[in-house]
Structure 1
Amino acid sequence: MKLNHLFEGNSKIHLLLLFVLCYITFFLFNESFFVNIMEARNFVTAREMIEKGNWLVPSMNGELRLAKPPFPTWITAMFGSYFGMTDLAMLRFPAGIMGCLLVLFMYQFSMDLTGKKSQAFTNSLILTSSFYVLYMSRTGTWDIYCHSFMLGAIWILFNALQNYKCKRMGKFSFAGVLLGLSFLSKGPVAFFALLIPFFIAYYWIYKSKSLIQNWKPLLLCVLIFAIISFWWPVYISVAHADSAAAVAKLESGSWMNRHVRPFYYYWNFPIQTGIWTVLIFSALLFPIIKKNLRNKKEYLFALIWTLSSVVLLSLIPEKKDRYLLPVLIPSAILAGQLIQHLYEVFSEKKNKTSDLWIFGINVWTLTIIAFALPMVVFHVFFNENQLSITEFTLFTISSELLFVLFLLTWINKNVRQFLINSVLLMCIPIVFLIPNLKGFLNQNPDFKNLSEINNYTQYKELNYYSIGKPGFRIELVYEAGKEVKEWDFESNIYIPQEEPFVVFSTKPVTDLLSNDQLKSINFKTIDHFDYNRYHQGKKRNKPHFQKYATLITPIKVLSESDSIIKQSLLTQKSK
């Protein structure tokens, strides 16, 4: 009964609990992950904004980066300028804030869609604890920005279209701002993957003519959206016309030629939700559950929105797992509809055999996982000395308590308890395992982060260069702490500068430079770095993460230095 009071209770309590959950899922131990390639690109771009003071024309490792709109980079650069570009927790903090906004918009949208606080709370709990929402809100990538703003715009548009007596100009204007910020975060991605599928579902189910009736406020919305969205691309196309044209051609081609996957690649999308995988697969079984479904309109709306999003994304040849993030938004609503349906039929004891089967499969899947988790963690973490005895004991107690709660959930057919248990099942690994994740992910005993080059303060002011294949990864550029220029030593035999500089190379410089080049320099190996997380001999151990750092001093500089010393000695002698 108390749990029912919680679900039917005050919205302020719901939002407070959701933000506590957001803190655990999006912010807690946020610095524990290594910087991935997408983060590295974004952090390097933000760092160069701060260093060069050019916030309108982003660059990445000295080269223009015009492929992505700059709004998220501006936010990250603001945090980086205050907290420093090495504080990963704070660099990832804005993405977590956007995750919180996504949850807030989900709650408000669900309230308008269903009119039920319990349904809004349910949908938001599912979204917050979905794996890929959690992951994208913990990493400094830009996808969470565009989709958070887009869901906010969809909520405002839905509210305005459904309520004719509201002050529509203000709402449509706000929707225009959010649409503009979404575009300024990652271009048209959210429009294609979230907004168009929403309108398909909306007009399929509600058959509304309100767009025609609201053409004036809608025109204002489009105007505001256009101003916010297109001023930066227009500025870039004028200030850097050739580069902008080249980037546009490259980006349009990449959608067709890079990361090409088959049409059906995205049809396992429920897996991206983690603990809700079985629930969402169950919610897709419309022919089985439709006969006993009460809120068919809301259910069909969420189903069509979800499937439309998947189909549209599947039409694009380029496919990546992170592109599925927008699909998880209507999926959470879809799963929430199934939870509400099961709650109602079990509460009123009107459930059918199909309801019992669906609930049983979901409960017993997570019951088995809760029971087995300590055994998996024992072998993967504790045996590898990645977890203390105290941590492992607390983890085991928590998991087995959840196991008992899941059993009681099945006995009592308590659907809302199942929902809470599932969320807790996601939280337990976050609390106990994520702090130890770096040790688990890093299995290389020779690991040495290239960021340690900054410990050699005598070389900090020197320019950095990279030479040789397989090139210098952007993750290493971030760790280096500054721009790393490429020295094409094969086509240009000359030393790139007369002053001393640092060179990074996979092989020693003696194996790369010609005899003539070696004669014109003095060199000293500073250190060797291995950024691989897998030890030698493993397939994932890559040469491009292994780098020698070498101090290069051109002979001319030595000669000038020697002459100054000689002149100083002669002066002292004459005195």
Structure 2
Amino acid sequence: MNFESIQDNNRYAHAILLIITCYISFFLFNGEFFVNIMEARNFVTAREMIEKGNWLVPTMNGELRLAKPPLPTWITAFFGNTFGMENLSMLRFPAGIMGSLMVFFMYQFTISLSGNRIKALTNSLVLVSSFYVLYMSRTGTWDIYCHSFMLGAIWIIHSAFKNHNSKSLWIKFSFTGVLLGLSFLSKGPVAFFALLLPFLIAYFSVYRLKDLKQYWKPIVLCLFIFAIISFWWPVYISIAHSQEAAAVAKLESGSWMNRHVRPFYYYWNFPIQSGIWTLVIFTSLLFPYAFKNFETKKEYKFALIWTLSSVILLSLIPEKKDRYLLPVLIPSALLAGQFLHHLYIVFKNESAKKADHILFGINTWTIAIVAFSLPIVAFFMFQRQNLMSVPTFALFSIFSELVAMSLVICWINRNVRGMVLSTTSLLLIVVIFIIPHTGGILNKNPHFKSIAEVRNLTDLHKYNYYSIGEHDFRIELVYEIGKEVKQWNTKEKLDLPEKSPFVVISTENPKDVFTKPQMSKIKLDIISRYDNNMQRVGKRRNKEHFKKYVSLVTPISIPDKTCEETAITEMNNSKDNEN
């Protein structure tokens, strides 16, 4: 068998391995987690696209939803319309596809960068098993879309810069324009700032591309395609709803400065977001060691500058959230891959220094200890509380200990590839055995009663729903209920909102929310009280706004006068009687 056929076999083997890993990481049991606030916003908007047909002008709980571009919501709506808006697995399926595309783009980008398929596989395995990549690919939000499309664009840009074939440049930059447009239509300029700009800083700092003249025409075509795909929707919205669009733009720009403000150094623990690869990424940041020992110094310098540029740029924005670090994990995977490839080369050539042995030992033994300890943790968190069956716990323990033993053997034999595969396997074992049993851990409220049960009360579906007694109704509850929930302030608007029966939802007992004149005009049937809190009473995250009464209100008369006029009339009659 010649070298080319071996390379082809490696390519197919790598593809199969990555497909299996992506399936377990992103798709398996992806309906287990509760819907978070970001998902709820996306799902409610998608549901109203289907029900109301407002695909171009999205709404969320009846209000215009212009803060985010609509591409991820369109895709979610397509899957929701096909498989049902209550099918969480399928609503999250597109995010898994985008996560898988990100891994594929990483593999192809690494080949373009180094021409080495082993490096490509290593970088892709680090990326697919990084915690926040896994988490965002299992939840139906916007971030995984924009960054996945952007990584694809970066791969093609790098390929175009590296290969100067004039015929292929037009095709490559055309595809780049499409991917850039799709990224912008997913979350605006976020990926351009957090991923593309740091890449360009790193690339031109290290590789210093000299002759840019040959690229200007394809680049113009790229920008033209990008502009068409990106800006048609914002332009349409600015024309059709100019005042609302301006208000949203002002609010969003203000939130970057005023909401969730954190200190500049908040993001500098970014390796932690990779989960199991935290120590490996921290080690790869030891640039004095890397510049002195690594063979591929240019590639390492490129990955280092890309990573640090991304962190610095994100740190400049006052608003900071952990999920905003997702784009940093992409160059971080490249950085970790450089360290792991260096160890592979020096151990293979028997040229490893003392520092190489020490760093490999620290990383491998740390993960081995984690693997060894996992059954103990699982026993106290799951099996002891009867959340996991004995056979499942036994299998989980066996596989975890096998991974721990495998890592020890890898350390003895200085097997870096085996260490990468064993570490990835450990994460997959956690997904397979732990995620299906997390419900009992995440939900610690013994009085939990989901308001989603209202969906089963088919007699209520024909009525309109109103939230009373508060100004802000949680969007997570809107998704769980499955219908739009309108706002009604019973103190300011004394008239009943409808002359036919309707449903009211309130934190307080509705008897204490309605005014006396209103109570005299309605029949109130309290259906039940629901508690969507995951934490038990007394905990910080147990919030009153997740506790709701659901009641049916039936007007018992339909007076010509408003409730306010009726109240005045009753007061006048009372005065006449006194006289």
- TM-score (norm. length: structure 2): 0.94
1:90 and 2:90 are equivalent in the alignment: yes
In 1, Cα distance between equivalents of 2:390 and 2:109 = 44
* C-alpha distance in 1 between matches for 2:531 and 2:236: 41
Q: How does 1:50-449 map to 2 (within 5 A)?
A: 50-165=50-165, 167-449=168-450
Identity across aligned pairs (percent)? 63
User: How far apart are the structure 1 equivalents of 2:293 and 2:258?
Assistant: 46
Q: Which residue of 1 aligns with 2:527?
A: 526
| Contact in 2 for aligned 1:40/1:474 (Cα 8 Å) | yes
- Contact between 1:391 and 1:432, CA under 8 Å: does it hold in 2? yes
Residue-by-residue CA offset, 1:73-114 (whole Å, 9 max, x unaligned): 000000000101000000000000000110111000000001
Amino acid at match of 1:146: C
Partner amino acid, structure 1, of 2:342: H
Q: CA–CA distance in 2 between the matches of 1:249 and 1:531?
A: 33
Q: Which residue does 2:464 correspond to in 1? A: 463
Secondary structure in 2 matching 1:138: coil
One-letter amino acid matched to 1:243? E
1:542 corresponds to: 543
Distance 1:421 1:8 in 2: 24
State the Cα distance separating 1:471 from its structure 2 match: 3.3
1:47 partner letter: R
Q: CA deviation at 1:203?
A: 0.3
Aligned runs of 1:9-48 on 2, under 5 Å? 9-48=9-48
- Partners of 1:175 and 1:221 within 8 A in 2: yes
CA change 1:558–1:523 in 2 (3 A) is: farther
Task: Report the alpha carbon displacement of residue 557 of structure 1 after superposing the two structures with TM.
Answer: 5.5
Q: CA deviation at 1:12?
A: 2.1
For the residues of structure 1 that align with 2:450 and 2:90, how far apart are their CA atoms?
20
Q: Deviation of residue 469 (structure 1)?
A: 2.9
Distance 1:224 1:454 in 2: 44
Residue 268 of structure 1: how far off its partner (Å):
0.2
Measured after TM superposition, the shift of residue 8 of structure 1 is 9.3
TM-aligned CA deviation for residue 227 of structure 1: 0.5
CA deviation after TM superposition for structure 1 residue 247, in Å: 0.4
1:508 and 2:509 matched: yes
For residue 548 of structure 1, give the secondary structure of its aligned residue in structure 2.
strand
The separation in 1 between residues aligned to 2:7 and 2:48, in whole angstroms, is 47
CA distance in 2, matches of 1:61, 1:346: 59
Contact 2:471 2:487 in 1 (8 A): no
Give the secondary structure class of the aligned counterpart of 2:31.
helix
Tell me the CA shift for residue 546 of structure 1: 0.4
Measure the CA separation in 2 of the matches of 1:557 and 1:89: 46
Q: Which moved more, 1:18-27 or 1:449-458?
A: 449-458
Distance in 1 between residues matched to 2:211 and 2:551, nearest whole Å? 67
Contact 1:464 1:484 in 2 (8 A): yes
Structure 1: which amino acid aligns with 2:248? Answer: V
Aligned residue in 2 for 1:565: none
Check conservation: 1:262, 1:317, Cα contact below 8 A. yes
CA apart distance, 1:343? 0.3
Contact 1:8-1:117 within 8 A present in 2 as well: no
Pick which of 8-17 and 535-544 moved more. 8-17
Aligned to 2:568: none
Q: CA deviation at 1:231?
A: 0.3
In structure 2, what is the Cα distance between the partners aligned to 1:379 and 1:131?
23
1:366-417 Cα deviation digits (max 9, x unpaired): 1111111111110011111110000100011111111111111111111111
Aligned pairs, number: 555
Which digits, 9 at most, give the CA deviation of each residue in 1:436-494, with x for residues without a partner?
A: 11122111121111111122111111000001137320000000101000001121111
Distance 2:365 2:8 in 1: 26
3-state DSSP class of the match of 2:137? helix
- Deviation per CA, 1:308-353: give whole Å up to 9, x if none: 0000000000000000000000000110011100000011111111
Letter of the 2:484 partner, please give it: E
After superposition, what is the alpha-carbon deviation per residue over 1:149-178, rounded to whole angstroms, capped at 9, x for unaligned? 000000001101111125110110000000
Kept after mapping to 2: 8 A contact 1:181/1:229: yes
d(CA) in 2 for partners of 1:277 and 1:218?
38
Contact 2:344 2:417 in 1 (8 A): yes
Which is further off, 436-445 or 241-250?
436-445
Whole-angstrom distance in 2 between the partners of 1:542 and 1:171: 52
CA distance 1:103–1:61, change in 2 (3 Å) = same
Separation in structure 1 between the aligned mates of residue 173 and residue 25 of structure 2, nearest angstrom: 32
Q: In 2, Cα distance between the equivalents of 1:220 and 1:454? A: 50
Backbone CA RMSD of aligned residues: 1.4
Task: Say whether the 8 Å CA contact 1:470–1:544 is kept in structure 2.
Answer: no
**Gaps in structure 1 of 5+ consecutive residues:** 560-575
The AA in structure 2 aligned to 1:247 is V
SS in 2 for 1:30: coil
Counterpart AA for 1:309: S
Counterpart CA distance in 1 for 2:6 and 2:301 is 27
- Whole-angstrom CA distance in 1 between matches of 2:245 and 2:471: 27
Give ranges in structure 2 of 5+ residues lacking alignment: 561-579
For 2:319 and 2:123, how far apart are their aligned partners in 1? 30
Partners of 2:290 and 2:159 lie apart in 1 by 29
